[in-house]
Amino acid sequence: MKKIYTFLAVAIVSISSFAQNTSNLIVFSEDGLKFYLVLNGIRQNETALTNVKVTGLTQPYYSAKIIFEDTKQPILEKKYVPLTDADKVPQEVTYKIKRNNKMVNVMRFFSQVPMTQAAPATAEVPEVHYNTEPLPEIGTTVTTQQTTTTSNGNNGNVSIGINVPGLNMNVNVNDPTLVEGTTTTTSYTTTTTTSSSSSSNYNSTPTKPVTTKPTTTSASTGNCGGAYAMSATSFNAAKQTITNQKFDDTRLTTSKQILKTNCLSAAQIKEIMKIFSFEDTRLQFAKQAYSKCVDVNNYFLLNDAFQFESSVEELNNSIK
């Protein structure tokens, strides 16, 4: 029996190592609205929830859709949800559903941490291992029945089944001490019913997983289609020139002059934003610089340069 425990321990360690190479996505509703989370066209949660955590995500980005249980709420779509940082390190990324200043529900980036710092599972946040098989269409009732038979009376031969997300194993054990025993058969029936009110909002046909970098929009391409960001030497010189200006107005004017003939990375744009003294100036520059950013998929990095959440929201609305 010691060999069995050793084998199981090794399997668990292997699963943990695999998990470090995957990402998590958490989506929660600030107002407590129940919803279904759809990733790459496949619904993840069987019943509508207010907080969903999907684990085992192997791609750097996914397309997400929010379908509310209340059909009066419009469907939310976010075609590009990054789950790695600029260095492609897997992250646990959190988005929240909230009402904007127009009282319309939107899906907004909230936070992210490396997977090594991800919080352990809790009963309050249901975890769903990434589902690649389409669930029944919203509005159907599915009845399942399962019979499990265990036996320890077959001349000491015992079969142990292990079912862990991402790993299925059967371990056969021959132990003379397990000759006598009983056979137990357990059967049960469960019924899962999803809300029929949302059926009109959901297309059960899955789309192909996103495996390539998405094409940037015309706004993000601008004059930088296929161009590179400023070199470190050129950027440092430009940054120093901006810093030498005494007022935010002249700093902003100088920054715009630099944008006319150069392209920047999201990290470089964030560095320039930090030079400005006022929130409004940072926001103006962030809006202006979007069309000259070579990696708009990392534009969320700019959020940390703002003091107020309203600025983050206004920027997001301007670059949709």
- Quote the tokens at residue 28: 């929660």
Stretch among 41-45, 108-112, 210-214, 274-278 having the lowest mean pLDDT:
210-214
Q: What's the mean pLDDT in 56-62?
A: 93
Q: Long-range contact list for 127-131, CB < 8 A, 24+ apart?
A: 127/53, 127/54, 127/55, 128/44, 128/45, 128/52, 128/53, 128/54, 128/55, 129/54, 129/55, 129/56, 129/165, 129/166, 130/39, 130/44, 130/54, 130/55, 130/56, 130/57, 130/58, 131/42, 131/43, 131/44
pLDDT for 183 beyond 50: no
Q: Regarding predicted confidence, which is higher, 146 or 40?
A: 40
Q: What's the mean pLDDT in 258-271?
A: 93
pLDDT (tens digit, 9 = 90+) per residue, 210-226?
333 333 333 334 447 76
Stretch among 12-21, 23-32, 199-208, 225-234 having the lowest mean pLDDT:
199-208
Query: Which one, of 178, 160, 158, lies nearest residue 169 by Cα?
Result: 160
Q: What's the mean pLDDT in 134-141?
A: 71
